[in-house]
Chain A
Amino acid sequence: MHKLDDNRAWLLIVPVFALVAFNAIIPLMTVVNYSVQDIFGPGQRAFIGVEWFREMLRDPTIQAAFIRQMVFSGLVLAIQIPLGIAIALLLPRSGWKSSLAIILIAIPLLVPFNVVGTIWQVYARPEIGLLGRAINAVGFDYNYTASPVAAWVTLLLMDTWHWTPLVILLAFAGLCSIPQPYYQAARIDGASRYAIFRYIELPKLKGVMTIAVLLRFMDSFMIYTEPFVVTGGGPGSSTTFLSIRLVNMAVGQFDLGPAAAFSLMYFLVILLFSYVFYTILKMNSRA
């Protein structure tokens, strides 16, 4: 019998298929199911097609949250990627100092998300927090519960503190993998420190930095816990990001249909952006 005609092969993929079905396909389909129905109560529902999707796209609070989310992710990448590379360049490449520095730098990564939020919520308070009092003492009027700018600064500082270490670790690993002869050849060629960075280190970092940009984009685009703990989306709705808006809708208002449609679009947007980033960075490294 020809290999392709042996139907028993299907049996062998059943376990994997069942596993994927239960942890991915069925939950996702539940969301899809909600997103195309209007649910009034148990047993009372109506199929309404893509109406929720249309409504979500037109919702001004979601549009505002989307723009806020884009700005936040853009700032996160613009701050953390260069900062991470810069710090990685300053680290010693070997010896006990290197190990110690890496351990200290990695600590924020080990802190649970809502603990990070709590730490900064207290740390940045204008009346009792060390950071909040210090900023006010220098003469700035800083109160993240009252001023949107202060709230944004606090969230960006917190996210930078929490996640720049990841960029540093990736950049450091990339730098450590550059063979010594590259530096030796550059010395013989009389290259300046800037030229070494521009023509040796930066090109060699491209691979790990692609990963760093993707991870930081996806994580920051999905951020929920820390702003929820620190600002709760305020003051007003100035730090209401997509996920906070979504949770308000799904859990707070119990609008399951619209929330399902929103979730699916949220998911597709992240998928799309990640794909675009990946393609652009891949193209650059091949061109």
Chain B
Amino acid sequence: MAEITISDLRHAYDGDLSDPSKLALKGINHVWRDGGAYALLGPSGCGKSSMLNMISGLVRPTAGRILFDGRDVTDLRPEERNIAQVFQFPVLYDTMTVAENLAFPLRNRRIAPAQITRRVNEVAEMLDLGPLLKRRAAGLGAADKQKISLGRGLVREDVAAILFDEPLTVIDPQVKFDLRRKLKLVHETLKLTLVYVTHDQSEALTFADQVVVMSHGEVMQAATPEELYDRPSHSFVGRFIGSPGMNFLPCALDGNQIRFDGGTIPAPALAPRPGSQLTLGLRPHAIQPADAPTGITADLIEVEDRGPWRIADIAIGTNHLKMKLKDDVPLPSGSFPVRFDPDATLLYADDLLTGDLRHAQA
């Protein structure tokens, strides 16, 4: 068990830090609380796997420190860090039985045989691998194989953290749910720090207490799933989280009005830095048809039925937006007035969140 602190982590795969735009990681600071469940979320190539491999010690960062409970482990080798890591594809020692696979890390550390047997049985019990212990590992299904990979990390006592690198990619959808629940259960039982790398937002949002969203080697936002959805601190997070993502509407501040192509709304008491590029951020559910004129008119383009709700493609001025309607809301047609939910209408200046419109209409 450990609290993992990452301090000013920078990495270039060719070792050259001089060009910041080419870095795989661009100066990351983060604290992974002891016992927390974290997801590292981001598109392919954003640096999330690199970061994971640095925590486990497989990759040495070009600059920056990694601390486990305050102890600097940056220069320690993976086997000295007491980390469990599960990879995208199950890694097994094919010629060994399940029990031998689980015992392998302990044998390498020359632990007494009696203690190895005890630990292997405990871990097998926890992961429901008991009946398989005598079987050859090579013939098992992908889900069992992933459990064995995890088990090899857990057999060591005092494991500092479990790291997952997209472990459910090769698992069948039906089994995925069970395995995810099992992972969650193991985390809750052992109270281990858990870092889970994925590019699948639903996996990240259901799994983690805190989600760290990364893009191009930088942390865009680290927050609870609710916060990421309701108040993305960067427009990237707004677009990346949610399906469909957040709508962005370029706008300008004009006295006490926010003016955009297709309408105006009252401005809040906000004073963004002059000259910055302003945009309104609206989740699809924050746009709803209104009964009376609101000063904003939308044209319906297309409707997509998604069961309990519908996603409507609309145009406000020249802007295309997505509107999410419950299926009991009558579908408007042609041109119709819309209102923006002031609690969920966020103002971004140069892609950064500066405030919402809640206070403006009071």
User: Contacts A189-B108, A191-B108, A199-B96 given; 12 further ones with Cβ under 8 A?
Assistant: A181-B91, A182-B91, A184-B91, A185-B85, A185-B152, A187-B78, A188-B83, A188-B153, A189-B152, A190-B79, A190-B109, A199-B95
29 residue pairs of the A-B complex, CB under 8 angstroms, read A179-B89, A181-B87, A181-B88, A181-B89, A181-B91, A184-B58, A184-B87, A185-B87, A185-B149, A187-B58, A187-B77, A187-B79, A188-B57, A188-B58, A188-B79, A188-B83, A188-B84, A188-B85, A188-B153, A189-B79, A189-B108, A190-B79, A190-B105, A191-B108, A192-B108, A199-B93, A199-B104, A203-B93, A203-B94
- In the complex, whether B56 has a CB less than 8 A from a CB of chain A is yes
Q: Is A200 an interface residue (CB 8 A)?
A: yes
A residues in contact (CB < 8 Å) with B: 179, 181-182, 184-185, 187-192, 195, 199-200, 203-204
Closest 3 CB pairs of A and B: A190-B79, A181-B87, A185-B91
Nearest to B56 among chain A residues (CB) is A188
Interface size on B, residues (CB 8 A): 25
Interface of A is mostly: helix
Contact A188 B78 (CB under 8 A): yes
- Minimum CB–CB distance from A189 to chain B (whole Å) comes to 4
Q: Within the assembled complex, what's the spacing in Å between the Cα atoms of A187 and B78?
A: 6
Contact A190 B94 (CB under 8 A): no
* A182–B96 CA distance with the chains assembled, in angstroms: 14
Task: Tell me the minimal C-beta distance from B192 to chain A in angstroms.
Answer: 15
* Chain B residues closer than 8 Å to A181, beta-carbon distance: 87-89, 91
Which residues from A are CB-within-8-Å of B153? Answer: 188
Instruction: Tell me the minimal C-beta distance from B176 to chain A in angstroms.
Output: 20
Tell me which residues across on chain B come within 8 A of A190, comparing CB atoms: 79, 105, 108-109
Cβ–Cβ < 8 Å partners of A179 in chain B: 89, 91
Q: What residues of A have a CB within 8 angstroms of the CB of B104 in the complex?
A: 189, 191, 195, 199
* Distance of A176 Cα from B72 Cα, bound (Å): 34
Question: Chain B residues with Cβ under 8 A from A188's Cβ?
Answer: 56-58, 78-79, 83-85, 105, 153
The digit string for B18-38, where 1 denotes a CB below 8 A from any CB of A, is 000000000000000000000
Contact string against A for B residues 52-89, beta-carbon threshold 8 Å, 1 for contact and 0 otherwise: 01001110000000000000000001110001110111
Other-chain residue from B89, B94, B105 in contact with A189 (beta carbon distance below 8 A):
B105
In the complex, the chain B residue whose C-beta lies closest to that of A182 is B91
